[in-house]
Structures are given as C-alpha cells and as structure tokens.
Chains A and B, each alone.
Chain A
Amino acid sequence: MSRRPSLVFLALLAGLLAQGAALLWLFTVPGAPSSSAGPHPRFPVLRVAPRAFEAAEPLRAPTLLYGVGAFLALFALLALGLGGGRPLRAGRGAFAGATLGVAGSALALWVAYLGAPRATDGWAGLPPGSAWLLFGLWPAEALFAWVYVRHFHELVWPPSAERRFAALLAERDRACGERER
C-alpha cells in the first residue's frame, strides 16, 4: 500500500463508507420506530421487542447495507494484517474459503431471519436464524485461525522474514556497540 491504493485499502474504505452511508440513511428512515426494546408486561426488568420490529420494511435496506459494510471492512482488515499490506499469495485460496464460510453463515442467518422473523423452533429449541448465529457464524470465524496456523510459515513468519529480522537486530547491536565505544 505504498504509491497506489491497493485493493485491500479500497475494500476497507468502501466498507467504512458503506457503514457511514447506512448510518445516515437510518437517521432519515421514515415511519420506523425510534427505539427497539420495551418493558415486558409482567416482568418490567425483562425487555421485549415490538411486534415484528425487524420485519419493518423501511429498515431492511439500510440495515443490510450496514451489515455488508461492517463485514467488508473486517474482511479487508484481516487481509491487510495477513498480507502486511501486500496482496496475499500463499494461502489466498484458504483465506477466500474462510471469508466465504463466514460471509455465507451471516447471509444464511439473515435469510432465515427475514424468512420467518417470529419463528420459534428450528434446531435444539432455537429459531433457524439463532441456530445459524450460534452454530454457524460463531464457529465459522475459527476458519481464519485455521488459515493463520496452516499457512503460518508462508504468510506470517517465512524463513526470509526471520533472516531479515535477524539481520536487523545484528545491525542494531553493531550500531549500539559502536556508539558505546
């Protein structure tokens, strides 16, 4: 990311700007409720959602844009950290697979939720959207850890980097020695 903005930088910027645009849009959504939860009729400490709040048509598009922007920014930052600002070479396929796994789980959650916002039973007593959240999106994120571990010596700490770092330390020690003399 030195002279020309890289793809990762542009993806990060697009993700952040998409979130900003969604936020501004949410400020001006007409007719949608201004707050979500309200007190439970019998137990005031518990909160309940207004009926079909998330099915409210005006909210769907900006919320989806915000979600896409947030995930895009996070994926771009993961790529930035893994590639050190350079395009990923080794492990590119694994990183793309992990991204698809996480993005796919998030999409499945969204579709399951919008398909039946008030569904009560899907898997293990949870509605389908919640089951996707706890048993899909949550463990799928560990795919990125797998990429890191699997490709550690190619992406993160290759022998060439180790050699360059050793040379850097040796140069520093030499300079310190000369200064002390």
Chain B
Amino acid sequence: MIAAPSSAVPLVLVALYFAACLAIGLWALRRTRDARDYFVAGRRLGPWVTAIALFSSVMSGFAFVGGPGLVYRDGLSSMWMVVSGILGTCLSTFLVGKRLRLLAEVRDALSLPDALAARYGSEAVRGLSALAIAAGVLAYLATQIAAMAFVLQGLLRQSGLVGEVGLELCAALATAVLVGYCILGGALASVATDLMQGAMMMAASALVFFAVRAQFEGGYAEAFRTIAADDAEALGPFGTQGAVTCLSWFFLFALGGSGQPHIVTKNLMFRRVADLRRILPLTILTGTVATLLWLVLGVAMRALVLQGRVEPLAAADRAAPAFLELWASPWLAGIVFAALFAAIMSTADAFLNLGAAALVHDLPRAFGFRPVQHELRWARLATLLLGAAALGFALGSRELVAFLGSFGWSTFAAALVPTVALGLNWKRANATAACASMATGLAATIGVELWLRIRGAELRLPHGFDRGAAALLLSLLVFLAVARATPRTPLPRDIDTLLEL
C-alpha cells in the first residue's frame, strides 16, 4: 500500500491559477463598458473562444470528481452520460444555435429569458424562465463553492505549509477569487477564463490518460481484465446499473443540453452565424478530450483496489483525488487540481453571470417594472450579492445545499428544453404551452424533491429509470399536447421570418 506524500507544488500551481483568473478579470474590466458587454461579452466572441467556453461550462466539478467516482462505483454505467455528449452538442447546435443567435441580433436579447420573451411575446414566459434560472444559480453556486472549499482544504493540509485551515476560510477564499473576476469583467472575464480553464482541462486529461496507462504493465487492457475478472457486468456496456438506467441517462443528457442556460446562452455571444460551422466540431473535439478523465481515473482506481495496490476508498468521490495524491507526480497533481478548480469555476462563473442577468435585467421586466437605470453597476452589485448568498448557503446549511444540489441538469432539462428547443423550431408553439411545460418540469423535479424531503420518503422508479428523464418526457408531452390543443398565436413579422430562416 502507498501513502500520500506531502508536497507544496500542487498548492503553488493552484495559487498561480487563482492569480491568473484575477489578472484576466482586470484585463476584461477595461473592455466592459455596458450591460451588453457584461452579460453577453458584447456579442463579439470568435469561434475558438466560444467553443472552449461551451465545453468548459459543461464540465463542472461533477465531471472531474463525480464522474470518476461513478465509474469507480458502478463500472461503465455512467459512460452513457459521457457518450451522449457528442449527440447532445449536435442537438443543441442544430435546435438552438442559429435561431438564438439571430434572435439576439434582431431583438437585442441579452439573456435567455429576454430571447424567450421575444419569441413567445410573453412576460410570463420571461418571468418563469428567469425564476428557474435564478433558483438554479444559487443551487449550482452553493454546491460548487462547497466543492472548492473541500478541495482547497485538502490541498492546504497536504502541502504541510500551514496547520489545519477551517472550511469557512477556504470557502471564502475560493469565492472571493470567483466573484472577484466576475465582478471585474462579467461575461468577457468569464469566457476568457473559460479559455484558460478549458486548455488546462484538456492538458490534465491527456496527461492523466498516459499516467494511468503507465500504472499497469499490460496498459488499459490489464485494468479492464482486472475489473472483468471480479464482476463481468461492471465492465459490460450498461455497468452495474443496468440498461434501463443507462438508456434513460442517454436520453436525458443528450437532449438536456438544449435547455441548460449556461450552455445555450453562449449562442448569444459569438460574432457571426457562420462561426457555428467551426464552433460545433471544435466543441466536440475539445470536450471529448477533456471527458477522457472521467473514464480513465475511475477504471484505474477500481482496478488498483481490486489488485490490492490501494486501500479501498471510503467514498467513491475520492477516486480522482486519491489517484492524484498517491500515483501522480506533484507537478501532474498540481496541474490536475488546478484543472479541477478550472472545471468548477468555469461553470460557476457562467451561473453568476446568468443570475445577475436574471435579477437585474429579466425579473424587473417580467413583473412590469421599468428597465433598471445604470444596469452595469447593478449587475456588478447583483453578482456580489449572489456570491455572498451562495457562500452563506454553502456554509450555513448542508441540508439546503444537498436539496439545491438536486436542482441540476435534470431540472433545467425538464423546465426549459421544450420551451427553448421546440419553441425556436416550431411556429405552432405558444406561450401557454411554454408556461405549462415549464410548470410541469419544475413540479416534476423540484416539487417532487421537496415533497419527498418533507415526507422523509424516497421515490425510485422501476429498474432505476432516471426521474429526471421521466420529468423531461412528461414536460415534452405536455408542451406538444398544449400547443396542439390551444389556438395558434399569430407571430410578429420578424419572429415569423426568423423561424423560417
């Protein structure tokens, strides 16, 4: 058995990464002059920046820590979430990319609720979508801040430079860096740091791929055979969770991307529609390289435990950190830990930006108030308040964070996919259908979760069918049924033309 050596190198690399984020924030500060710069980076991003910002927003801490943990625990089951990635990116681009970019230009939309309000001609649609996004922002931020605090505390402990540092201080430090560069540079700082963060994730993934291979004399084939000898079905295409669970994940993750606000909002930011031709393949290529880490770390740790070379892990989520602490050189561990922070922050900064837009730009309009004067100033204040609130939630109530954490991919998918993906491609879609499906999606995810927690009950669908996939299916059917059953709504001329392009 191997013991984790103490080294300050990973901590130093992470500190350098934090400093680089703040420097990018200062760079973006000089280029952020108004709300359009702050919310959609002035709509002037190039294809490379947009592509990497897209994939790095998708890759949260869950992909770097949760993903390997799922492979360690369940075998190949969770690979269906990863394998759906290419199809999901295609679906999101086919269904949403061009239309949202055109809508942004025609109606000067600065946020997703802005674009939806223009498409449906309804402030109720704006309000419901903004509320869903605002609640989701707190959820994502609180969980990401908690994750950063745990990782930072572990790094400080391992460095041997300081004694035990409290979780509160670690959370405050990480939040200060995150909120700092977001306040300074808004969306521009967010996507510029995404570029650096994406590059780090790809480099880390490629390095880990070779580092894992070096641990087994027979390469990956030996690791696979070790797992198969212990439990053949863990290495089967559906892992230990079975085909029903895996197929429901495939449906949820392939289609769900078209409703994730932090992903689809990137379509408001690039320069020209023709850029989409380069953005799609670049996103797929860079994203696929980065997701290799999900598979290889989980497989490596399961095989190493089964071979008796590592103590069994106390929790599956320890798979990635344990591999880095025990088997990687301090430099590689430093790069991957910095990439882990990059994964967390690239998602969190997108949500901070979305939350500020929802609070300052969308909700006042949805409730009939006049547009806010000095929007940029208020957006910066809203970013600060959101960061502080999320920090408070992360530290104040583990139970609340656990509840909010469930407000993830599946809730956005169920609440927003029909309204966004079908609404931008189907003239018959109307505000009644959009509101009905958003309400159904929110009730079937948040509502059910809340009800279960109040009752102290558990709900498992037969054979592990994913609840999020069921909620998405339900909201899609409600959307189609209501749109067909209600009278056709005449569209404004520009929207009508736009839906034909």
Q: Which residue of B lies closest to A114 (CB)?
A: B243
* Complex CA distance for A29 and B460, rounded to whole angstroms: 15
Say whether B93 contacts A113, CB under 8 Å.
Answer: no
For window 19-40 of chain A, which residues contact chain B by CB distance below 8 Å? 19-20, 23, 26-27, 29, 32-37, 40
Q: A73 contacts which of B90, B236, B251, B470 (Cβ < 8 Å)? A: B251
Say whether B463 contacts A26, CB under 8 Å.
Answer: yes
CB-CB under 8 A from B94, the residues of chain A are: 77-78, 80-82, 144, 148
CB-CB under 8 A from B476, the residues of chain A are: 16
Say whether A165 contacts B102, CB under 8 Å.
Answer: yes
Asked whether any CB of chain B lies closer than 8 Å to the CB of A142, the reply is: yes
Q: B473 contacts which of A20, A33, A81 (Cβ < 8 Å)? A: A20
* Complex CA distance for A119 and B239, rounded to whole angstroms: 13
* Complex CA distance for A162 and B236, rounded to whole angstroms: 48
Say whether B224 contacts A124, CB under 8 Å.
Answer: yes
CB-CB under 8 A from A164, the residues of chain B are: 497, 500-501
- Asked whether A48 and B313 contact (CB < 8 A) given A36-B464, A127-B235, A134-B79, the answer is no
Say whether B233 contacts A49, CB under 8 Å.
Answer: yes
Q: Is the interface of A mostly helix, strand, loop or mixed?
A: helix
Q: Which among A33, A40, A47, A118 has the greatest number of chain B C-beta atoms within 10 A?
A: A47
- Asked whether A126 and B277 contact (CB < 8 A) given A23-B465, A134-B79, the answer is no
Asked whether any CB of chain A lies closer than 8 Å to the CB of B161, the reply is: no
Say whether A148 contacts B280, CB under 8 Å.
Answer: yes
* Complex CA distance for A171 and B106, rounded to whole angstroms: 10
Say whether A13 contacts B480, CB under 8 Å.
Answer: yes
Q: Which residue of A lies closest to B244 (CB)?
A: A63
Report the stretch among B13-21, B69-77, B146-154, B407-415 that lies at the interface: B69-77
- Asked whether A118 and B244 contact (CB < 8 A) given A81-B94, A84-B500, the answer is no
How many A residues face the partner with a CB closer than 8 A?
82
Asked whether any CB of chain A lies closer than 8 Å to the CB of B329, the reply is: no
CB-CB under 8 A from B34, the residues of chain A are: none
Q: Which residue of B lies closest to A63 (CB)?
A: B243
Asked whether any CB of chain A lies closer than 8 Å to the CB of B36, the reply is: no
* Complex CA distance for A104 and B225, rounded to whole angstroms: 27
Question: What are 15 A-B contacts with C-beta separation under 8 Å?
Answer: A1-B426, A12-B480, A16-B480, A19-B251, A35-B463, A37-B242, A77-B91, A80-B95, A119-B236, A120-B228, A130-B237, A133-B80, A133-B83, A142-B284, A169-B105
Closest 5 CB pairs of A and B: A81-B94, A125-B221, A125-B224, A36-B242, A81-B95
Known: A77-B94, A81-B96, A127-B228; 19 extra A-B contacts, CB below 8 A, are A1-B426, A1-B428, A45-B73, A47-B241, A54-B242, A59-B243, A67-B247, A73-B255, A74-B254, A81-B94, A84-B501, A120-B225, A121-B228, A124-B221, A124-B224, A126-B224, A133-B79, A133-B80, A168-B497
Which residue numbers of A lie inside 8 Å of B, CB to CB?
1-2, 9, 12-13, 16-17, 19-20, 23, 26-27, 29, 32-37, 40, 42-43, 45-49, 52-54, 59, 63, 66-67, 70, 73-74, 77-78, 80-82, 84-85, 102, 109, 112-113, 117-121, 124-127, 129-130, 132-134, 137-139, 141-142, 144-145, 148-149, 152, 156-157, 161-162, 164-165, 168-169, 171-172
